[in-house]
Amino acid sequence: MKALVTGGAGFIGSHLVDHLVESGFEVVVVDDLSMGAISNIKHWEQITIYVADVCDDKFMQQLLADERPDYIYFLAAIASVADSIERPAETHAVNHTAVFNLLEHIRQIRLPIKQFLFTSSAAVYGNLPELPKREDSRVAPVSPYSGVLSILTDCLKTQRPFTLFGDGTQTRDFVYVSDVIKALWLITEHQVQHEVINIANGLETSLNGIIQMYQEIAGQQLEIKRAEQRGGEVDHSVASIGKLARLNYESEWPLRRGLTKYWEGECEHARS
């Protein structure tokens, strides 16, 4: 079986690529390396990598014809609220138009794929009051697309101040990357078709809580600068994961354990 992973050199994408290789898949990656790096992929020597833009329509059309993947995982994205507001046209081209064009090419050449899996963001649910967010909840995005953990990590590693937008009571449903890959694999194994499925832990944690926990794990104290809350940010987010649970999903990484593993990995990467 062959799998195409767009954004396969990014954080989630590279973990997915490694899992697919270990599961016996032939893997093809398309990534322009604007947000990822080939070094993120453990098994890079066993895969085919195209350093290319998913918005290059002619390239993607030819790629489908040449590689003819059985599974397609579309993870390429501009994954920043701030960037999406500053560059809405570019964000729409990557996050939406490129997906539509790829699906249209699949239709035109009648490529017999087994599954097309598109990953989105919890931000699509917006600030509507209903919690937890179910897959049939109304979407109301407040930005064209935040990697708060990566920013916190960088601030802790470099001893730079962290800018807290708003009062820190904003909440998110944090999930460790290994649990994300487990969920994606379950969706593939069960051959899920025509479904929206939330991937999360089903637990709500405030930004203030995450900052406190991360400082304890790192054994450091952050200098925090406060600023007005930015436009396009979601106030509260937690997901219903009933549909995922019906695929026999159970989280293996509680928040503190996952955050500890993430911090240890970042420190090890900095030393190497």
Residue 151 has which token pair?
């920013």
Rounded Cα gap, residues 12 and 10, in angstroms: 6
Would the CA dihedral through 221, 222, 225, 227 be positive or negative?
Answer: negative
Picking from 54, 61, 66, the residue whose alpha carbon sits closest to that of residue 108 is: 61
Residues acting as catalytic residues: 145
For tokens 């998913």, the residue is 54
Q: Are 116 and 74 in contact (CB under 8 A)?
A: yes
DSSP 8-state class, residue 122: G
DSSP 8-state class, residue 27: E
Torsion of CA 241, 242, 244, 245, to 10 degrees: 110
* Amino acid at site 185: W
Residue 101 has which token pair?
């064009």
